[in-house]
Structures are given as structure tokens and as C-alpha cells.
Amino acid sequence: MASIFSNIASAISSTFPQRPTIPVRIPNDDTSFNPKEYPNVVVSADGRMSGKVLLVHGGTETDETGLGLISTRVWVVNTADKEEVVISASFDKETHTYHLQTPKEQDFNSIYYETMVQYPSTTHLTNSLSFSLPNTSISNGNDISNLAFRSIKTALSNGSIAFKDLDGEVTQLCTSNGSVSGSFLGGHIDLDSTNGAITAKIQVRDALDGEQSRVNTRTTNGRLDIHARATETTRGLWMNNSSTNGRVTVGALLNKADRASVVHSTTNNGRLEVDLDASLTGQPLEVKQATSNGAIRSNLMIPLDQPFHGYIQSSNGSIEANLTEAFKGSFDLSTSNSNATVEGSNLTLTKNNKSAKQGYRGADGPSEIKLSSSNSSVALRFYPAGESLAASTTTKEA
């Protein structure tokens, strides 16, 4: 099976230039499976090691058999450790489980492994794939755009996640002390990291379970850069983006839908920027944005003739919100120790002083927006839809 790794060895070695120099192949470390008989695959590891996993679709001699393959190489610093590394494979009903066990007493740099999980080119849809791995990074080794999962999940530590064109109806990618990046397609998408950035382009479609499509991204001590295109949804979108100690940038383009959409974005100690085009959604929309010790810039193309509720709050940071003139309803701006400004046509002010502006735009309408800050300025502008910054940004980046 050595030839299977020839096409990916250079990528692995460049990612891990410090891997041990004594290569040891563990006997019987490869296992094959029939994706039709075993549509659920579990890959797990336990012990002290570090490693890399590649997800591959087609491209090797196993395509001739229609079988999938899981193959592992192990490197050890101390030759005696090779007897302590155990790889086991089991088949139970429709699930294939592949497990790597290493000594728990070793330093995690003493044992290094590479695992390839390969599906044959004849497999285009399978049920589930999950990874539970310490000190491990994961990515795709070739084009996987023609491979789809009903469910794909990761539980990693001290490693990054980098997928391009990952299609998972339910995608739950979690890591600690590592970044998450790539492009994703699905009905429910959950990206989670601690101490790492999340950078993602997301294509959202109607969820197969009949529920509203969901996107949830969160990190601590890292930035978020999320661009979501929900033009294939008919039930709207529930989206939450949150970070601590990191900048958050969100772009979203919504489609016509029969349910209200919700887009929330929050951070602490970071700047928040949101570009949202919901002008064609035809359903209610709720937007919440909040940060502490950071500024907020928000460009919102809101639904026409539908209720819109916006809540934007910052402490020790300025707020700049730009809304289309589809807005009909009340506005409330407040700050302390700075200026409140509102601009646009057809405005009626019921409160007007330096640090507070209240009133409404147009006739009585169902929408409302509230902006509040402390120790910095707040500004609200209503503009014609043709001047939208949100439309140009989300179309280009989503």
C-alpha cells in the first residue's frame, strides 16, 4: 500500500517538518470497507501522539474494487514504542470503527502518525463520518466536491481543520488550539474553535429534516471571517456568530423564504463588521450585533414591507449603521459622552439632543432599530437600495 501515500507525502511532510526520523510501519495498519455495507465510519485515537488526517475521494487503485480504505503510518522516536502502538478495526452492523492506541505516558512529540481516509470515486453520498482525535489536524487531500455526507463531525485538540468544498448535510467541526477554514455546503453547519481563527465560505441549502437552516460559528481568542450565501433556502436562516477577543466579519445573502430569519453577531474586545442583503427575502428579519471595546459597522439591506428588528450595542466603541429605505418604523439612538446622528429622508424626530435621537421613518411601520454605545458615537443612515454597500460586498464575497 506504500504507493497510496506517494501523492500526498510531500504535503504532509511540509506541514509537519519536525516529525520523527525513524519510520515504523505497524503490521496490518490498513483496513478496507464497503461504503454501501458500512455507510457509517468512525476514526478515533487515544494516547499521546500527534498527527495528520487526510480525507481523499478516489484517485487510487481501490477505485477498481469500489472499496474505501483507511491507512495509517506511524513514526516513533524510541524504537521500543512500536510494540505499544495498536491499531484495531471493527465492523458492527452498518458502522466501521478504526482506532489508534498509543502509550499515554509518552510526550506527544514522541509518536507521530498519518492517516488517510479514502472513499472510492463511485461513492457520491454516504451516511456519516466522525473523527475523535487528540493533537491532530485534518484536511482534504484532493477534490472532494463530488462526495457528500449526511453527517460529518470532528472532535480534535491542538490541531487545525481545513476543508475545501466539504458537503455535509449536518456539519459539526470542532477543534481546540487550532483554526478552522475552508468552504462548506449543507443544511446545518456548526464550526467551533478555541484559541483559533475561523475563516469560512458557506453555501446554505434547505435542511433535509424540515427545520430552518442553521449556521453557528464560534471561537475564543480568535477572529471570525464568515461569508454565507443562503440563496438555496426557502425556510430562512438562523445564524449566530460569536467570538471573544477577536474581530468578527460577517457577510450574508438571503433568499426569499416563508419563515423569519435571525442573524446574530457578537464579540468582545474586537471590531464587528456586518454586510447583510435580505432585500429579497420577503419575510421578517431580526439582527443583533454587540461588542465591547470595539467599533461596529453594519450595512443592512432589509426586507421590503416586512418587520425588521435591529439591536446594535457597543461599549467603548462607535457604531455606524446603514439601512435601506425599505425601513418603516421607529429608531432609538443613545450614547454617553459623544454624539448621536441620524440621516435620511422622511424622518420625524420625537427626541433630539446631542447624545440621543428617537423618532420614526415614514408612516407608522412594523420595524424598529436601536443603537446604543457608551463613550463613543452612534450614527444611523437610511439610503436608497441602489447605493447598497451590503449588496456589492455579499455578492462578491459570499
**pLDDT at position 84:** 84
Please, which pLDDT band fits residue 213 given cuts at 50, 70 and 90?
very high
- d(C-alpha 327, C-alpha 369), whole Å: 9
Residue with the larger pLDDT of the pair 103 and 172? 172
Pairing of strands 296-301, 23-24: unpaired
Pairing of strands 30-33, 68-76: antiparallel
**pLDDT at position 14:** 42
Kindly state the percentage of the chain with pLDDT values over 90. 72
**pLDDT at position 301:** 94
Query: Do residues 123 and 191 share a domain?
Result: no
Query: Do residues 216 and 125 share a domain?
Result: no
Residue whose cell numbers read 512500536: 82
Across 251-259, average pLDDT: 92
Question: Is it the case that residue 324 has pLDDT exceeding 80?
Answer: yes
Across 43-64, average pLDDT: 87
Count other C-beta atoms under 10 Å from residue 79's C-beta.
Answer: 9
pLDDT in tens, 334-343: 999 899 999 9
325-358 in b/e burial notation, b at 16+ Cβ within 10 A? bbbbbbbbbbbeeeebebebeeeeeeeeeeeebb
What DSSP character marks residue 224?
E
Question: Is it the case that residue 17 has pLDDT exceeding 60?
Answer: no
In a domain, 54, yes or no: yes
Domain's final residue, options 129, 146, 168: 129
Number of domains in the chain: 2
In a domain, 169, yes or no: no
pLDDT in tens, 65-93: 899 999 998 888 877 777 888 899 999 99
Least Cα distance to 61 among 115, 2, 12, 144 occurs for: 2
Q: In sequence order, which residues have a C-beta less than 8 Å from that of residue 88 and are 6 or more positions away?
A: 98, 99, 101
pLDDT in tens, 140-191: 989 999 999 999 999 999 999 999 999 999 999 999 999 999 999 999 999 9
Query: Do residues 101 and 196 share a domain?
Result: no
Domain's final residue, options 111, 129, 147: 129
In a domain, 48, yes or no: yes
What DSSP character marks residue 395?
H
Query: Do residues 198 and 86 share a domain?
Result: no
Query: Do residues 186 and 98 share a domain?
Result: no
pLDDT in tens, 123-141: 999 999 999 999 999 999 8
In a domain, 160, yes or no: no
In a domain, 141, yes or no: no
**pLDDT at position 398:** 47
Side-chain half-sphere exposure of 213, counting CA atoms within 13 A = 29
Across 388-398, average pLDDT: 51
Give residue 165's identity as a one-letter amino acid code: D
Give residue 187's identity as a one-letter amino acid code: G
Q: In sequence order, which residues have a C-beta less than 8 Å from that of residue 9 and are 6 or more positions away?
A: none
Query: Do residues 60 and 184 share a domain?
Result: no
In a domain, 270, yes or no: yes
Question: Is it the case that residue 61 has pLDDT exceeding 70?
Answer: no
Question: Is it the case that residue 208 has pLDDT exceeding 70?
Answer: yes
How remote is the C-alpha of 187 from its chain's centroid?
A: 12
Q: Determine if residue 77 is left, alpha or beta; phi over 0 gives left, psi from -120 to 50 gives alpha, anything else beta.
A: alpha
Across 327-335, average pLDDT: 96
Across 297-311, average pLDDT: 94
In the chain, the N- to C-terminal Cα span, in Å, equals 40
Query: Do residues 83 and 201 share a domain?
Result: no
In a domain, 202, yes or no: yes
Residue 122 sits in which domain range?
1-129
Please, is 155 exposed, middle or buried when counting C-beta atoms within 10 Å of its C-beta (0-12, 13-18, 19+)? Answer: middle
Across 97-110, average pLDDT: 80
**Arithmetic mean of pLDDT over the chain:** 88
Q: What is the 3-state secondary structure (H, E, C) of 239-263?
A: EEEEEECCCEEEEEEECCCCCCEEE
**pLDDT at position 15:** 41
Query: Do residues 212 and 71 share a domain?
Result: no
Query: Do residues 345 and 241 share a domain?
Result: yes
The secondary structure of 110-147 as a DSSP string is: SEEEEEEEEE-TT--EEEEEEEEESSEEEEESS--TT-
Query: Do residues 85 and 197 share a domain?
Result: no
Across 261-282, average pLDDT: 93
In the numeric block, which cell numbers belong to residue 32? 478496507
In the numeric block, which cell numbers belong to residue 270? 474586537
Q: Residue 391: in which H helix or E strand, if any?
A: helix 389-397
Q: In sequence order, which residues have a C-beta less than 8 Å from that of residue 93 and are 6 or more positions away?
A: none
Query: Do residues 117 and 192 share a domain?
Result: no
Domain's final residue, options 108, 129, 150: 129
pLDDT in tens, 372-384: 998 899 999 999 8
**pLDDT at position 30:** 85
**213 phi, psi to nearest 5 deg:** -60, 145
In a domain, 157, yes or no: no
Question: Is it the case that residue 193 has pLDDT exceeding 70?
Answer: yes
**pLDDT at position 78:** 79
SS3 content of the chain, % helix, strand, coil (to 5): 10, 55, 35
- d(C-alpha 200, C-alpha 205), whole Å: 16
